[in-house]
Amino acid sequence: MQESVLEIKNYTLGLSVDDKIYNVLSDINFSFYKGKIHAIVGESGCGKSMTVMSILKLLPKNSKVLSGKIIFEGRDILALDEQDMRKIRGRKIALIPQDPMTSLNPLYTIENQLVETIMLHNDVDKKEALNIAIKALEDVEFKEAEKRIKSYPHELSGGMKQRVIIAMALATNADILIADEPTTALDVTIQAQILKLLEKIKEQGRTIILITHDLGVVAKYSDDISIMYLGRVVERAYTAELFKHPCHPYTKALIEALPTKKGKKLKNIKGQPSPLNSPVAGCPFHPRCERADDSCRVEPPVLKSVNNSAVACYHPL
């Protein structure tokens, strides 16, 4: 049995708003494995980014951990102080942010920024850091790396900037890469190139947590998928199985909303997710679900095995 490199166990996170605590993550569980791409998918506000920020322990000041653990290398990240977290962030768990345009400092060259990051997380001198930087850029198929490392961010395309960000994460030899909407600001052609690059990195034995709102983005490249809705994991399955046989009504609705054949009308998911300050009793998806009945309005369902998936639904498909 494969051993997980990172586990989130029974984790609940609240935000304090007007002296009230509202759950933004509710009893979530994840296991991430070496050499795999695990996609976390859901609409804006479903808790994807809060999950990422919890792993990196970069939560807002008004947040409160209500229960659970995040286990990495045998330790609970939530119990570590800032000094210990600095030894993990970037060095062992690296973030690839969603917007390369704002993630690089426009006043410094790519060389300055890469070398500084490498020296911060590795015991190397400037010359060795530069060699590592060039090698990392070459690994992400950054053309003419030795020459173009002297460039400023504004001299690069969006796709090249994203490659620099990924190279920065690779250069620290991080075991886990968190890619937060890494293709959002890129056109379709560049999206495919970046996803293929992440797949190549996965084959080197890295663990990749891919955050996205678009199921279509992860269909070909992820190994397994967790679907989130209003702070809960509602379905988890191997990617091929999830597309072949979605078990949660929300998952099915997301798949049906994907553009497919030309001329085919897209299906919309009726309604909107409930706001944070107006939580829904029972299953969080029931106000938008055609299969909902009275049982769905009382207690939120827990994840249970259905076919080859884990599904939180009283009436799975």
Per the domain annotation, does 241 fall within a domain? yes
296 inside domain: yes
pLDDT at 266 over 80: no
Q: What distance in Å separates the CA atoms of residue 26 and residue 232, rounded to the nearest whole number?
A: 6
Residue 281 belongs to a domain: yes
pLDDT digits (tens, 9 = 90+) for 70-111: 999 999 999 999 999 999 998 899 998 877 677 789 999 999
pLDDT at 93: 95
* pLDDT at residue 100 in the model: 67
Note the pLDDT tens digit of each residue in 13-35.
999 998 899 999 999 999 999 99
In the chain, how many domains are there?
Answer: 1
Nearby residues of 78 by Cβ (< 8 Å), 6 or more positions away: 54, 57, 65, 68, 69, 70
Give the residue, 158 or 148, on which the prediction is more confident: 148
Residues 6+ apart with CB under 8 A from 80: 57, 88
In a domain, 127, yes or no: no
* Residue 13 lies inside a defined structural domain of this protein: yes
CB 5 within 8 A of CB 202: no
pLDDT at 187 over 80: no
Q: Considering the domain boundaries, does residue 252 fall inside one?
A: yes
- Find the CATH number of the domain harbouring 288: 3.40.50.300
Whether residue 27 lies inside any domain: the answer is: yes
Q: Where are the beta strands (DSSP E) in 49-168?
A: 63-72, 75-76, 93-96
CA distance 105 to 137: 17
**Residues 67, 272: Cα–Cα separation, whole Å:** 28
The domain containing residue 281 runs over which residues? Answer: 4-34+43-92+213-311
Furthest CA-CA distance within the chain: 67
- Domain contains 77: yes
